[in-house]
Amino acid sequence: MFDIFVIFDENVNRMTVSVTTPPIPLSRGHKKRSRTRQLLLDAAMQVVAEAGEGFSLREVTSAAGVSHGTFYNYFRDREDLMDAVVLHTAETFAARLQTEVDTPDQAVRFAESSARALRASAASPGTMRAVLRLESVQRDLLISGPLSYLHANLVDGHRAGRFTSVIDDATIDVVLGAMLLAVRRAVDGETDDDYVSTLLERLLMTLGIEAGEARRIAAAAVSS
């Protein structure tokens, strides 16, 4: 069906006919393809969470309830599936983190963003178990994905003089390593507000924030 608009321009004595077409809705076939692809991604996440990277494609198709041949209608091979899992994982986690913390104070931003990331991990244990099983996903999250704020925040904070510790590879490894271990605890239900507050306080102190201020910032981040 077309929408037709007739416009008469008195200045040039000309009539213009504009024809617009509404967006074409997705066909039943497109919707089915989208659902099947999502089934395979969800199944891959489940299998990876349970078995790690040593899974077989038959385990994925079995969990998804589709034939082995159907898999190749959506993914070229195992590597293509893994690339999609990485992207899907990063997008899922990013959606839970929502918007960035809006504050010019790098120490507060670091603490609040980290507290939010740990809450998101605890709220989505299946997704994060897959993350912890896949080294490539961890790298994507930490370097170019939703957790890349950690690295950028540390560098910006040091440049601004907020973090007085040297932000070298060793410091970054300490912070990122602590966060990944904390994510593991969160996924297993082993974290509470006291743990998160203490963790953030210690990390802030590692970055050069005075103990009393680090404690205040961490407590505020956990309660926000």
Q: Which of 58-62, 145-149, 184-188, 200-204 has the lowest mean pLDDT?
A: 145-149
Question: In 10 A of CB 123, how many CB atoms?
Answer: 11
Residue 145 binned pLDDT confidence (cut-offs 50, 70, 90) = low
What topology does CATH give the domain 28-85? Arc Repressor Mutant, subunit A (1.10.10)
Question: In 10 A of CB 115, how many CB atoms?
Answer: 22
What topology does CATH give the domain 92-223? Tetracycline Repressor; domain 2 (1.10.357)
Q: Measured on CA atoms in the order 52, 84, 185, 107, is the torsion positive or negative? A: positive
- Say yes or no to pLDDT of 28 above 70: no
Maximal CA-CA distance, the chain: 78
Q: Measured on CA atoms in the order 215, 165, 196, 223, is the torsion positive or negative? A: positive
- Say yes or no to pLDDT of 7 above 90: no
Cβ-contact 131, 141 below 8 angstroms: yes
The pLDDT tens digits of the residues spanning 51-62 come to 877 889 999 999
Residue 215 binned pLDDT confidence (cut-offs 50, 70, 90) = very high
What's the pTM?
0.65
Nearest to 39 by CA among 64, 70, 73: 64
Residue 16 binned pLDDT confidence (cut-offs 50, 70, 90) = very low
Could you tell me the residue ranges of all domains in the chain?
28-85, 92-223
Cβ-contact 84, 41 below 8 angstroms: yes
Number of helices followed by number of strands (H, E) in the chain: 11, 2
State mean pLDDT over 140-146: 63
